[in-house]
Amino acid sequence: MFRLFVLVLVVGGYALATSASHGADPRTGRRPLALDFRMKTLAGKEVDLATYQGKVLLVVNVASKCGLTPQYQQLQALHEKYAKDGLAILGFPCNQFGKQEPGTAKEIQEFCRVNYGVTFDLFAKVEVNGPGACGLYKYLTSVETKPQGPGKIRWNFEKFIIGRRGEVVARFDPKTHPDDPEVIQVIEAELAKK
């Protein structure tokens, strides 16, 4: 007989449903909270983030008209170098900082492809701060991490690293480049875990 258990947790004032059947951690029987969200891609397809379980994720809020936009190039280089080892980069366009991501989904996709050759996963535009923040970012900004702790997103290109088991293991400020040695060290350490 197949049984499905659902546990509802309240984290930071919002509810998350955790299923013990899909994407569950074999040690605890629970699905990692960081992967307990469904998000839409730029193409409008809904994706269950639990499908990324077992990979190392680099989650970044991105923008096309920012002084930090050239980080797309470094993100793509990391994708090309480490995707075969289990790294997945998830870009979440956001227009909350200086209105630096005003484009439509099609415009964002085209900009990233033409200017930076982006082939890593890009999602629909989201809010990352305030009452309209999506559930994923409400969760990410509530977690105690290093080198930065919990708190609101400061600007475009803030980075979170999620380990293979779905735990948030690091958070880096926007000006820390994706290929910074400290970021690479965390990514490689997480990729080494099986």
CATH classification of the domain holding 175 = 3.40.30.10
d(CA 36, CA 29): 13
Residue 106 placed within a domain: yes
pLDDT tens per residue, range 32-46: 589 999 999 999 999
How many separate domains does the chain show? 1
Residue 173 placed within a domain: yes
Q: Which of 66, 94, 112, 134 is catalytic?
A: 66
Residue 114, C-beta contacts closer than 8 angstroms, at least 6 positions apart: none
8 Å CB contact between 93 and 122: yes
* Residue, of 31 and 182, whose pLDDT is higher: 182
Residue 94 has pLDDT above 50, yes or no: yes
Average confidence (pLDDT) over 90-96: 98
* Residue, of 16 and 93, whose pLDDT is higher: 93
Residue 92 placed within a domain: yes
Q: Which residue has the tokens 């702790």?
A: 149
Residue 24 placed within a domain: no
Residue 17 placed within a domain: no
Average confidence (pLDDT) over 51-70: 97
Q: Which domain holds residue 91?
A: 38-192
Active site residue 112: no
Residue 53 placed within a domain: yes
DSSP 146-186: SBS-S----STT-EEEE-TTS-EEEEE-TTS-TT-HHHHHH
What was the pLDDT predicted at 147?
Answer: 80
| The two structure tokens encoding residue 98 | 């200086």
Residue 118 placed within a domain: yes
Average confidence (pLDDT) over 45-55: 95
What was the pLDDT predicted at 49?
Answer: 95
Residue 54, C-beta contacts closer than 8 angstroms, at least 6 positions apart: 86, 164
What is the average pLDDT value for the chain, to the nearest integer?
86
pTM metric for this prediction: 0.84
